[in-house]
Structure 1
């Protein structure tokens, strides 16, 4: 399982810890972004696969062009009411073509590849971006969405806003008095729990916010074991709201292998925002990094 498996849950409903951080995840889109553009004869009919890309389409004021989205496209709330084409890795050519799209806007995480090729063969223009778990990924998504919707000017304006937000985020990052706290990211959306290693969006977020992964020496995700978790001794545990809900609540979540024997459990230091907010690498990335950094900086390890 990888980052894409994290993004199929609902919209932001608050963190899993008391204290008020992560409130930025509930910020409403600007009124301009929420207003759907009037359909025109030249506006391409668009299927968007990828929650962050769909969010960007709304930001560009091009919601009226959407004829379908995937199951990760849940923000803003209006995106939940769009026709769904299924999970981004399990697309169906027949279902997509039934919506008569001119353009499929997606990332390199979409598939299977045979379906993408079938769409191209049927005359659908496929615009795909690459994932890299950084600001450049967000910039590529904005450019691609501007191209797909023919709203390049709006995309350029959003790029400027993103860079301004990113600069403010960099300036607002708190200075850590001690060593970077050790964080453990847990993926547990109903299947066997897993933990994040190198090359994942979760680890990238930890680094961007000034933390360090408590687990080293492997790439991607691997099965969560009590021995590895106890040995890692994380100061903080990061997960998603969807994972905590799937576990049956915060108390049940702490009973996952080894967690109850960690410093993080002793202090009940758990954060669990919405998966798309945390790992979507969309236009809200600067705000997500800032608030994650503030949470990290508030730990005893960071203040030492």
Structure 2
């Protein structure tokens, strides 16, 4: 392959990944007009339109999708090869794209940002906070951080935290107005702040367990969100009952009396936070270094595959 052809393919991949000529041009160090000319040359050589352009967006055509699907793994392998060679020479560099829950960003990533940067100043972290269930492969992320029970089976996973409890909470003002629920069935008569699962758009059915009896409740209320901070804010302001992870900023709210736990005897335990990545990719040296940092440990040789319930 000639150098010009490689540059055209690299430019095409950059546009697809950023869904923008302007952002791709900035990444490649080109002017938008030069990038447009490069794409036109590639399309002329291919004899097919590869990108659909509008004034607001750019997206691959079916032919472009096919081309990108073949190119993306090759470019990732090349980037990993360069990163591994650099790491072997003691010069770890590159970009890591991480998709993470907000609670993981606050509790696990944020406290360690400085330490990771001091150890690896040439590694750029691109952290996307996403309380939905985005596909990290389709989103071209190096790794994601989720609650363990929500991971696909074809992922390699590394446990970051112990198991965590789900708790139902509400403000004292709300409970004074509406009463305290005594069982999950009582939630049908309460305003509840619900969580929408981004993967299919459905609302989360609250799960409870007592003495081996497990129940799921479909709730309703004034707010549905896919962002935990909004749900907690709504509960603090008396809009209703929220169902949240106990470790997600709850200790201080409960200790100060801003929120009160209800249905404590029905709480369930969920797997803790896991960092995960596709089992079709070997973790780059930068990702391996980030995992070590998040776990406050010395590097380990490998990680085991994730299995549900472990």
- Fold match, TM over 0.5? no
Give 1 or 2 for the bigger CA radius of gyration.
Answer: 2
Q: So what's the TM-score if we normalise by structure 2? A: 0.29
- Whichever structure has more strand as a proportion of its residues is 2
Q: So what's the TM-score if we normalise by structure 1? A: 0.29
